[in-house]
Amino acid sequence: MTISERYKKVIEWFQASMPVAETELHYENPYQLLVAVILSAQCTDKRINMITPALFQAFPTPADMAAATIDEIFEYIRSVSYPNNKAKNLHGMACTLVEQFGGEVPSELSELLKIPGVGRKTANVVRSVVFGQSAMAVDTHVFRVSERIGLTTESKNPLQTEQTLVRHIPEELIGTAHHWLILHGRYVCKARRPDCLNCGLTSVCRHYQKNSKNAD
Protein backbone atom coordinates (compact mmCIF):
# COMPACT_ATOMS: atom_id res chain seq x y z
CA MET A 1 0.00 0.00 0.00
CA THR A 2 1.36 3.40 -0.95
CA ILE A 3 1.35 6.29 1.48
CA SER A 4 -1.24 8.10 -0.66
CA GLU A 5 -3.53 5.06 -0.61
CA ARG A 6 -3.21 4.80 3.17
CA TYR A 7 -4.08 8.45 3.68
CA LYS A 8 -7.05 8.15 1.33
CA LYS A 9 -8.48 5.16 3.18
CA VAL A 10 -7.86 6.66 6.63
CA ILE A 11 -9.52 9.94 5.68
CA GLU A 12 -12.50 8.15 4.13
CA TRP A 13 -12.97 6.08 7.27
CA PHE A 14 -12.84 9.08 9.58
CA GLN A 15 -15.24 11.04 7.39
CA ALA A 16 -17.73 8.20 7.58
CA SER A 17 -17.28 7.24 11.24
CA MET A 18 -16.55 10.62 12.82
CA PRO A 19 -18.22 13.32 10.69
CA VAL A 20 -18.19 15.75 13.62
CA ALA A 21 -14.83 16.11 15.34
CA GLU A 22 -14.04 19.07 17.58
CA THR A 23 -12.22 20.00 20.76
CA GLU A 24 -13.61 18.67 24.03
CA LEU A 25 -12.38 21.72 25.93
CA HIS A 26 -15.11 24.14 26.99
CA TYR A 27 -14.64 27.76 25.95
CA GLU A 28 -16.60 30.79 24.79
CA ASN A 29 -13.93 33.01 23.23
CA PRO A 30 -10.29 32.90 22.02
CA TYR A 31 -8.94 33.96 25.43
CA GLN A 32 -10.76 31.12 27.20
CA LEU A 33 -9.57 28.56 24.67
CA LEU A 34 -5.99 29.76 25.00
CA VAL A 35 -6.18 29.42 28.78
CA ALA A 36 -7.72 25.95 28.53
CA VAL A 37 -5.13 24.69 26.06
CA ILE A 38 -2.24 25.98 28.17
CA LEU A 39 -3.72 24.18 31.17
CA SER A 40 -4.38 20.97 29.24
CA ALA A 41 -0.72 20.11 28.72
CA GLN A 42 -0.19 16.67 30.31
CA CYS A 43 -3.64 16.86 31.86
CA THR A 44 -7.06 15.58 30.78
CA ASP A 45 -9.64 17.80 29.14
CA LYS A 46 -12.13 16.51 31.69
CA ARG A 47 -10.07 17.92 34.55
CA ILE A 48 -9.58 21.24 32.75
CA ASN A 49 -13.31 21.59 32.13
CA MET A 50 -13.90 21.08 35.85
CA ILE A 51 -11.72 23.98 36.96
CA THR A 52 -12.07 26.57 34.18
CA PRO A 53 -15.60 27.82 35.00
CA ALA A 54 -14.45 29.26 38.33
CA LEU A 55 -11.20 30.48 36.77
CA PHE A 56 -13.04 32.32 34.00
CA GLN A 57 -15.50 33.79 36.46
CA ALA A 58 -12.64 35.14 38.57
CA PHE A 59 -10.64 36.39 35.58
CA PRO A 60 -13.07 37.00 32.70
CA THR A 61 -10.59 38.97 30.59
CA PRO A 62 -6.83 39.00 30.02
CA ALA A 63 -6.69 42.31 31.89
CA ASP A 64 -8.30 40.72 34.93
CA MET A 65 -5.82 37.86 34.92
CA ALA A 66 -2.89 40.21 34.34
CA ALA A 67 -3.95 42.25 37.37
CA ALA A 68 -4.01 39.15 39.58
CA THR A 69 -1.03 37.63 41.33
CA ILE A 70 0.44 34.28 40.37
CA ASP A 71 -0.60 32.94 43.78
CA GLU A 72 -4.20 34.00 43.16
CA ILE A 73 -4.25 32.20 39.81
CA PHE A 74 -2.63 29.14 41.39
CA GLU A 75 -5.53 28.70 43.83
CA TYR A 76 -7.92 28.09 40.92
CA ILE A 77 -5.71 25.60 39.08
CA ARG A 78 -3.99 23.74 41.90
CA SER A 79 -5.61 20.42 40.90
CA VAL A 80 -4.08 20.35 37.40
CA SER A 81 -0.66 19.00 36.51
CA TYR A 82 2.28 21.35 37.13
CA PRO A 83 0.13 24.13 38.65
CA ASN A 84 3.07 26.31 39.67
CA ASN A 85 4.48 26.59 36.16
CA LYS A 86 1.04 26.93 34.61
CA ALA A 87 0.08 29.73 37.00
CA LYS A 88 3.23 31.61 35.97
CA ASN A 89 2.50 30.97 32.30
CA LEU A 90 -1.11 32.12 32.58
CA HIS A 91 -0.06 35.33 34.28
CA GLY A 92 2.66 35.90 31.68
CA MET A 93 0.21 35.11 28.90
CA ALA A 94 -2.33 37.62 30.20
CA CYS A 95 0.28 40.34 30.65
CA THR A 96 1.59 39.76 27.12
CA LEU A 97 -1.90 39.92 25.61
CA VAL A 98 -2.57 43.20 27.41
CA GLU A 99 0.82 44.79 26.79
CA GLN A 100 1.53 43.63 23.24
CA PHE A 101 -1.78 42.70 21.63
CA GLY A 102 -4.37 45.06 23.08
CA GLY A 103 -5.94 42.32 25.16
CA GLU A 104 -6.77 40.22 22.08
CA VAL A 105 -5.48 36.78 21.14
CA PRO A 106 -3.45 37.09 17.91
CA SER A 107 -4.05 34.76 14.99
CA GLU A 108 -0.56 34.56 13.51
CA LEU A 109 1.78 31.75 14.51
CA SER A 110 4.78 34.05 14.99
CA GLU A 111 2.81 36.28 17.35
CA LEU A 112 1.27 33.42 19.32
CA LEU A 113 4.73 31.97 19.91
CA LYS A 114 5.73 35.17 21.72
CA ILE A 115 3.22 34.38 24.49
CA PRO A 116 4.46 32.59 27.65
CA GLY A 117 3.21 29.01 27.85
CA VAL A 118 2.45 28.86 24.13
CA GLY A 119 4.42 26.42 22.02
CA ARG A 120 3.76 25.37 18.46
CA LYS A 121 1.10 22.82 19.42
CA THR A 122 -0.91 25.29 21.50
CA ALA A 123 -0.57 27.98 18.85
CA ASN A 124 -1.83 25.63 16.15
CA VAL A 125 -4.83 24.59 18.25
CA VAL A 126 -5.83 28.23 18.61
CA ARG A 127 -5.22 28.97 14.94
CA SER A 128 -7.27 25.97 13.85
CA VAL A 129 -10.14 26.01 16.35
CA VAL A 130 -10.69 29.74 16.78
CA PHE A 131 -9.49 31.22 13.52
CA GLY A 132 -10.29 28.38 11.12
CA GLN A 133 -6.78 28.18 9.74
CA SER A 134 -5.34 25.00 8.23
CA ALA A 135 -3.05 24.30 11.17
CA MET A 136 -2.13 20.82 12.39
CA ALA A 137 -1.50 20.71 16.14
CA VAL A 138 0.55 17.67 17.11
CA ASP A 139 0.16 16.47 20.68
CA THR A 140 1.10 13.08 22.10
CA HIS A 141 -2.04 11.44 20.68
CA VAL A 142 -1.51 12.77 17.16
CA PHE A 143 2.19 11.87 17.26
CA ARG A 144 1.50 8.31 18.46
CA VAL A 145 -1.51 7.53 16.27
CA SER A 146 0.09 8.90 13.10
CA GLU A 147 3.13 6.70 13.58
CA ARG A 148 1.13 3.60 14.52
CA ILE A 149 -1.25 3.80 11.58
CA GLY A 150 1.58 4.56 9.19
CA LEU A 151 0.69 8.12 8.26
CA THR A 152 4.22 9.01 9.32
CA THR A 153 7.39 6.94 9.25
CA GLU A 154 9.93 7.28 12.03
CA SER A 155 9.14 10.90 12.84
CA LYS A 156 11.64 12.10 15.39
CA ASN A 157 9.62 15.03 16.73
CA PRO A 158 6.20 16.69 16.52
CA LEU A 159 7.34 19.16 13.86
CA GLN A 160 8.27 16.34 11.49
CA THR A 161 4.88 14.73 12.12
CA GLU A 162 3.11 18.04 11.49
CA GLN A 163 4.96 18.62 8.23
CA THR A 164 4.19 15.12 6.96
CA LEU A 165 0.50 15.28 7.85
CA VAL A 166 0.07 18.71 6.29
CA ARG A 167 1.77 17.50 3.12
CA HIS A 168 -0.65 14.59 2.66
CA ILE A 169 -3.98 15.80 4.09
CA PRO A 170 -6.14 18.12 1.96
CA GLU A 171 -5.91 21.67 3.29
CA GLU A 172 -9.62 21.96 4.03
CA LEU A 173 -9.48 18.84 6.24
CA ILE A 174 -6.36 19.59 8.26
CA GLY A 175 -8.18 21.18 11.22
CA THR A 176 -10.70 18.36 11.41
CA ALA A 177 -8.01 15.71 10.95
CA HIS A 178 -6.27 17.05 14.05
CA HIS A 179 -9.36 16.19 16.10
CA TRP A 180 -9.85 12.85 14.35
CA LEU A 181 -6.40 11.72 15.42
CA ILE A 182 -6.69 13.12 18.96
CA LEU A 183 -10.05 11.51 19.64
CA HIS A 184 -8.98 8.22 18.08
CA GLY A 185 -5.88 8.22 20.27
CA ARG A 186 -7.85 9.16 23.37
CA TYR A 187 -10.58 6.54 23.08
CA VAL A 188 -9.38 3.75 20.76
CA CYS A 189 -5.68 3.82 19.89
CA LYS A 190 -4.60 4.31 23.49
CA ALA A 191 -0.97 4.57 24.49
CA ARG A 192 -0.65 1.41 26.56
CA ARG A 193 -3.43 -0.77 25.21
CA PRO A 194 -4.72 0.12 21.76
CA ASP A 195 -8.23 -1.26 21.32
CA CYS A 196 -7.60 -2.86 17.95
CA LEU A 197 -10.68 -5.10 18.19
CA ASN A 198 -12.91 -2.02 18.10
CA CYS A 199 -10.91 -0.08 15.53
CA GLY A 200 -12.11 0.34 11.97
CA LEU A 201 -8.64 1.08 10.67
CA THR A 202 -7.03 -2.33 11.14
CA SER A 203 -7.06 -3.05 7.40
CA VAL A 204 -4.75 -0.09 6.77
CA CYS A 205 -2.95 0.18 10.12
CA ARG A 206 0.77 -0.58 9.92
CA HIS A 207 0.97 -1.40 13.65
CA TYR A 208 -1.91 -3.89 13.48
CA GLN A 209 -0.65 -5.53 10.31
CA LYS A 210 2.84 -5.94 11.75
CA ASN A 211 1.55 -7.46 15.00
CA SER A 212 -0.78 -9.80 13.14
CA LYS A 213 2.10 -11.16 11.06
CA ASN A 214 4.24 -11.63 14.17
CA ALA A 215 1.39 -13.52 15.86
CA ASP A 216 1.17 -15.89 12.90
Residues acting as catalytic residues? 121, 139
User: What does the alpha-carbon distance between residue 124 and residue 28 come to, in Å, rounded to a whole number?
Assistant: 18
